[in-house]
């Protein structure tokens, strides 16, 4: 398991959770890190916002 202080690892998990289901261990690790880390909470929110934006845009692509 990665050191709890690794923001770099946290960003890897934040990214991968958009592409696959994280394991229970990874999820708990990430949640704990986010509780402790202000910068990563912000990054996580922004990643989620961009994911949502892209999803909305794909829906827009299908409309006419």
Partner 1 sequence: MPAEPCQNCSQTEFEQRIDPLRPRLIAFAKLHLKFEADAEDAVQECLISAWKQLEKFAGKSSLETWVFGILRHKLIDLYRHHSKIRTFEYNESKLPDTDGWFQKDEHWHNEHAPSNWSSPYQTLENEHFWQVFDICVFHLPEQTSRVFTLREFMGFETAQICESLHISEHNCWTILHRARLRLRACLEQNWFTAEENRQ
User: Is residue 23 close enough to count as binding partner 1 by CB under 8 A?
Assistant: no
Q: Which of 1, 6, 26, 32 binds partner 1 (CB under 8 A)?
A: 6
User: Is residue 47 close enough to count as binding partner 1 by CB under 8 A?
Assistant: yes
Alpha carbon distances (Å) from 64 to 44, 59, 61: 32, 10, 8
User: Is residue 22 close enough to count as binding partner 1 by CB under 8 A?
Assistant: no
b/e per residue, 37-51, with b = 16+ CB within 10 A? Answer: beebeebbeebeeee
Q: Which of 23, 27, 36, 54 binds partner 1 (CB under 8 A)?
A: 54
User: Is residue 32 close enough to count as binding partner 1 by CB under 8 A?
Assistant: no
């Amino acid at each position: 398991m990665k050191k709890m202080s690794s923001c770099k690892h946290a960003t890897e998990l934040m990214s991968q959770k958009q592409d696959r289901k994280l394991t229970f261990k990874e999820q708990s690790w990430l949640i704990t890190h986010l509780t402790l880390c202000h910068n990563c909470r912000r990054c996580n929110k922004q990643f989620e916002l961009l994911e949502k934006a892209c999803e909305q845009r794909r829906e827009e692509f299908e409309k006419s």
